[in-house]
Structure 1
Amino acid sequence: MKELRYDAAVIGGGAAGMAAALELQEAGFSCAIIEREDHLGGILMQCIHNGFGLHEFSEELTGPEFAERFAVKTADSDIAVYLGTTVCSLRPVDPSNTEGAYKELICASPDLGMLRISARAVVLAMGCRERNRGNVRIPGSRPAGVYTAGLAQRLVNIEGYIPGKEIVVIGSGDIGLIMARRMSWVGCTVKAVVEIMPYPSGLTRNIVQCLHDFDIPLYLSSQTTNIFGNDRVEGVEVTPMENGALVPEKAFRIDCDTVLLSVGLVPENELSKDAGVELNGTTNGPAVDSSLMTNIDGVFACGNVLHVHDLVDWVAEEARRAGRHAASWLKGERTGPQVRVKAGSNVRYVNPGKLSTREENKVYLRSLIVKNDAVLELRLDNRPVKTIKKGHVQPSEMINLTVGPKELEGFSSDSVLEFSIL
């Protein structure tokens, strides 16, 4: 087994992985990116639509163009890149058996064989995966023609295949909305988008640009209760919901030959779990402190493996901070006092789970409700310390803000900062 050693190892070569690695390299540390695909860029390489980079680069880019900005910098750096390489296990090694505490990554590569990569710091940047039919338990047989929206995107944009002609999209997540438009562009008929919630799951701009502009019906508060067909999809049954309950007498059928599932994303954390990383039960990503470090000393997490973002711009921003914090940790710098955070009324989650009392913290959270003229209130030990007026909030759009020593003044070791939407 070939043995390699670096100051830091980054697992995942998407926007998050490259952004974190570049920060580590610029801080003077040796760094390796381990990516299981044969190219850098991750899922961005199949996202040929524009809308990326408005915050990160102040211009509108396609997914491949966004990824290329980081890939070019990575290629021009001293970062070691291992493509087509899968990390099979990650474990901390007893510091008494080596020159200092480090982590061991066992990796498999068709070209390089088995690798043992040792690193003092590790950044988790594996991204997320789509939920599938098994996760949402739609009744019916198992006919051909049922795809996740991301798989359909890859088939059309990368492989050059059109998966069907008459499409129904289940779920109004952003990938599903974008694929409704994409399938319309290639000449297919998109019969409907069916959403179980009373509000869309995707960004407002995608509802307008991908559905309204193409006159595609959106059925809210509606559940797909059956998929018809044996050899090939023949249609779906849609049942409206009232007050959270199905109304079977109002059920109707939509004939189609293809179903695309856009029913949510899940952080890719099997490796994290096996390594002993503590996971957040709400986000399904690692629980991290203000430095984006997990419960394992020297293991950091960022991007969609931490929590599913709405914009890749925020992924890159968060990953740069993870890289900087990992570099500071390698220099021996440690986080000072921290205050725990709590999701209060109408807030699904807040990340990170702890905030530094000595410096500014970037905080991300998601609303549980759709509301105009909302107020985001921060309370430290039940004492209001900050309020922010929000013209509109909805679950599909992340809220980000900065919290610093001013808001945390007067904290104690037992303090809790609660975030609520009123």
Structure 2
Amino acid sequence: MKYELVIIGGGPAGLSAANAAWEAGCRSICIVERDRELGGILNQCIHNGFGLHYFKEELTGPEYAGRFIDMVGQTGVDVRLDAMVLDITPDKHVHIVSSEGGYEDLEAKAVILAMGCRERTRGAIAIPGTRPAGVFTAGAAQRYLNIEGYMVGRRVVILGSGDIGLIMARRMTLEGAKVLVVAELLPYSGGLKRNIVQCLNDFDIPLKLSHTVVNIEGKERVSGVTIAEVGPDRKPIPGTEIHYDCDTLLLSCGLIPENELSRGMGVEISPVTNGPVVDESLQTSIPGVFAAGNVLHVHDLVDYVSEEAAAAGRAAVRYLAQGETGERHEIPITFEGGIRYTVPASIDPKLVQDDLVLRFRVGGVMKKRVVKLYLGDEAVVSRKRPVMAPGEMEELKLTKDMLAAHPGLSRIHITVEEA
């Protein structure tokens, strides 16, 4: 089968990219999704808080996904469900296998990577102790509870204060479980401030920062978990252990962008984000291959995923119309003051079509700061930030007018300075 555009992943990023590409005039699009329905992780996120930016109203995860599924349903986009991508070649042959169509080779002129991310497992963080039942990633527990209808435990310890862990602390409490503690290795939470307030403080669930699990006990099922305080080197401090009798341990220890397919096709991957390195069009190091959403870098709000993926969809259609651009004048975005990365990583000012959103995260909690965006030696944006934290993504808008006012540009730089 031949398509102009193949999108890998039918979650919020893939749906938004497909819808935007169709609206931009592309009429040969295929979404490949490994699950049995579209919507991705949103289908199990039955709490509200979605859509405030994008739809200007508060929705649950399934409601938010449903809106995009309806939009795509009104187009002629082909959808392959229950289909696993085996391999993508650098010349954009997408090899898939599905129960309905068997093995297929989808030949694409452009590809959008929208595979999302996966959770860190117990094996990835190497917690000592026995290996009983009752240890779940927070996302797996969320699926069991919200979709399958299984109660995963009654006395719960949660390791990690990422957003899924915080939301599951509230969800388990509402289902009648007792959440004993949320332990966080770092000296700050990895989740949104609103989730700490609504999911922990409102239910009197203690959050212990700079703590980690040092032992899991139990033969058939978890019977107890021991946590301990950690020092600046993140190693447990002897004598600070606290034991909890519990039957369940949930792990919310970070998300990893799902980039095995990207690596396999030769896309350059950032060592900081674990996602592809992209330019102003969200194009990867392979021309005609774009990336958006959590496969690119982990977002805190799905609204931003949708915005980013829509931009990738429009960029893919421009690529299909124009082909590869010849001579590129890439300007890497440099940064200092505690910023860990930026998306995009570089910009060619001549190729910027719309106003550009630069997204970044900082490496630690900072207070009373000013973020400045420099074009050459001129600060074109200056924003006061009372508090910045790693759990909340920052963004700056770079307009076409700003770039037009700086011809011959050779430096784009972001700083975080004391206010």
Query: For this structure pair, what is the TM-score category when the shorter chain's length is used for normalisation?
Result: over 0.9
After superposition, what is the alpha-carbon deviation per residue over 1:168-217, rounded to whole angstroms, capped at 9, x for unaligned?
A: 00000000000010000111000000001111111011101100111111
The residue number in structure 2 matching 1:302 is 292
Q: Percent identity?
A: 48
Contact 1:339 1:411 in 2 (8 A): no
Give, in whole Å, the separation in 2 of the partners of 1:57 and 1:294: 29
Whether the 8 Å contact between 1:24 and 1:323 is mirrored in structure 2 is yes
Partner of 2:73: 75
Cα distance change of structure 1 residues 168 and 8 upon mapping to structure 2, 3 Å threshold? same
Query: By how many angstroms is 1:242 displaced?
Result: 3.8
Cα drift, residue 25 of structure 1: 1.4
Matched, 1:11 2:3: no
Specify the SS of the correspondent of 1:248: coil
- The structural deviation recorded for 1:406 is 5.6
What SS is found at the alignment partner of 1:331? Answer: helix
1:235 and 1:334 mapped to 2: Cα distance? 58
Give the secondary structure class of the aligned counterpart of 1:330: helix
Q: CA deviation at 1:374?
A: 1.4
Q: Say whether residues 1:269 and 2:267 are aligned partners.
A: no
Contact 1:357–1:404 (Cα < 8 Å) also in 2: no
Residue in 2 that maps onto 1:415? 411
Question: How many angstroms apart in 1 are the aligned matches of 2:8 and 2:335?
Answer: 29
Given the alignment of the two structures, is residue 140 of structure 1 paired with residue 158 of structure 2, yes or no? Answer: no
The reply on whether 1:350 has 2:346 as its aligned counterpart is: no
> Deviation of residue 420 (structure 1)?
3.2
Identify if the C-alpha distance between structure 1 residues 407 and 339 changes in structure 2 by more than 3 Å, giving closer, same or farther: farther
Matches within 5 A, 1:7-406: 7-29=4-26, 30-93=28-91, 103-244=92-233, 245-332=235-322, 337-358=329-350, 359=352, 360-380=355-375, 384-404=379-399
Tell me, what secondary structure is at the counterpart of 1:92?
coil
C-alpha distance 129-411 of structure 1, shift in aligned 2 (>3 A) = farther
Amino acid at match of 1:323: G
Query: Contact conserved, 2:332 with 2:347, CA < 8 A, in 1?
Result: yes
Measure, in 1, the Cα distance between the counterparts of 2:200 and 2:407.
48
Verify the 8 A CA contact 1:37 1:85 in the aligned structure 2: yes
SS in 1 for 2:361: strand
Amino acid at match of 2:177: C
Q: Could you tell me how far 1:256 is from its partner in structure 2?
A: 0.7
Equivalent-residue separation in structure 2 for 1:333 and 1:402 (angstroms): 27
Q: Offset at 1:235?
A: 1.3
What runs of 5+ residues in structure 2 fail to find an aligned partner?
A: none
Partner amino acid, structure 2, of 1:288: V
Deviation digits for residues 321-362 of structure 1, max 9, x if unmatched? Answer: 000001111110666634211232211111111124244321
Letter in 1 for 2:3: Y
Q: CA RMSD in A?
A: 1.7
Q: Is the 8 A contact 1:378 1:420 kept in 2?
A: no
Distance 1:275 1:75 in 2: 30
Q: CA deviation at 1:119?
A: 1.0
Structure 2 CA distance, aligned partners of 1:309 and 1:25?
Answer: 24
Helix, strand or coil for the counterpart of 1:317? helix
How many residue pairs get matched? Answer: 410
Task: From the superposition, tell whether residues 405 and 340 of structure 1 become closer, same or farther in structure 2 (CA, over 3 Å).
Answer: farther
Task: Give runs of ≥4 in structure 1 deviating > 4 Å.
Answer: 333-336, 380-385, 405-414
Query: Normalising by the residue count of structure 2, what TM-score does the alignment of the two structures yield?
Result: 0.94
- Contact 1:346-1:421 within 8 A present in 2 as well: no
- 1:199 and 1:327 map into 2 onto residues whose CA distance is 41
Q: Matched residues in 1 for 2:10 and 2:232: separation?
A: 44
8 A contact 2:283–2:290 mirrored in 1: yes
More moved, 152-161 vs 132-141: 132-141
Partner SS for 1:378? strand
Shift of 1:414: 5.3
